[in-house]
Every structure is written in C-alpha cells, then in structure tokens.
Amino acid sequence: DAKTTQPNSMESNEEEPVHLPCNHSTISGTDYIHWYRQLPSQGPEYVIHGLTSNVNNRMASLAIAEDRKSSTLILHRATLRDAAVYYCILRDQTGANNLFFGTGTRLTVIP
C-alpha cells in the first residue's frame, strides 16, 4: 500500500481554521484519499474522501494537489470537539478492504 506522511502533532486556536497536511508521493492513479479522525476514547470516524477534485462536506474540506502527491484537510472553524487524531489513508479505487492506519496527526485545540 502507498504510504502517507503526516506531522505528529499540530495546535490550533479555537474558532480558527486548521489545515492538516498529508504527503503521499507514491500515490497511484486508482488510490482515493481518505481521512478519518479518532476522538479520545472512541473509535475512528470517517471524515471525508476524494480522488482528484477538492471536496466539501459538513465536517470538513479536502484540498488535493494537482499532482495528487499531497492533500490538506481543512477544518474551517476549529472547536474543542475537533481535538482528535486525524488519519490520512490511501485506499484503492476498487474498494479493497485494506484500510491501514498510520500514526496520524494529533490536533490540540486551544481555548
């Protein structure tokens, strides 16, 4: 599986935007970019995914570089409830069941 690289940790002030980066230089043409997050003492939850175009949903936005070798998860207005570990994962377009989690980025939101 193609690997992803994320910073170990980031901080953000409450109510400010947060940009969480992810590098995936070995991404293949059939890999989707997925983001999950894990709140304290909970299981991971799906956030967003994309292939080439930028994507928006009620939770976040996903900006994908033109060469697809990097992407950024954008939380438009961080709240204390957004403090979590955020995982960037590549998943083959066929939807093969091989969702492998890396170490993720631990986001701390400062009141």
Partner 1 sequence: DAGVIQSPRHEVTEMGQEVTLRCKPISGHNSLFWYRQTMMRGLELLIYFNNNVPIDDSGMPEDRFSAKMPNASFSTLKIQPSEPRDSAVYFCASSLRGLVGYTFGSGTRLTVV
Q: Which stretch binds partner 1 (CB under 8 A): 14-22, 23-31, 42-50, 59-67?
A: 42-50
Q: Which stretch binds partner 1 (CB under 8 A): 5-13, 16-24, 58-66, 92-100?
A: 92-100
Between 3 and 16, whose beta carbon lies closer to partner 1?
Answer: 3
Distance CA 85, CA 81 (A): 12
Between 79 and 101, whose beta carbon lies closer to partner 1?
Answer: 101
CB of residue 61 vs partner 1: minimum separation in angstroms?
A: 16
User: Are the beta carbons of 107 and 8 closer than 8 angstroms?
Assistant: no
* Helix, strand, coil percentages in the chain from 3-state DSSP, rounded to 5: 5, 50, 50
Distance CA 103, CA 96 (A): 21
Per CB under 8 A, 7 contacts partner 1: no
Q: Which stretch binds partner 1 (CB under 8 A): 6-14, 15-23, 28-36, 69-77?
A: 28-36
Give the CB-side neighbour count of residue 99, counting CA atoms within 13 A.
Answer: 12
Alpha carbon separation from 47 to 17, 26, 52, 67, 86 (Å, rounded): 16, 22, 17, 22, 9
CB of residue 85 vs partner 1: minimum separation in angstroms?
A: 9
Q: Which residues bind partner 1 (CB under 8 A)?
A: 32, 34, 36, 41-46, 49, 95, 97-104
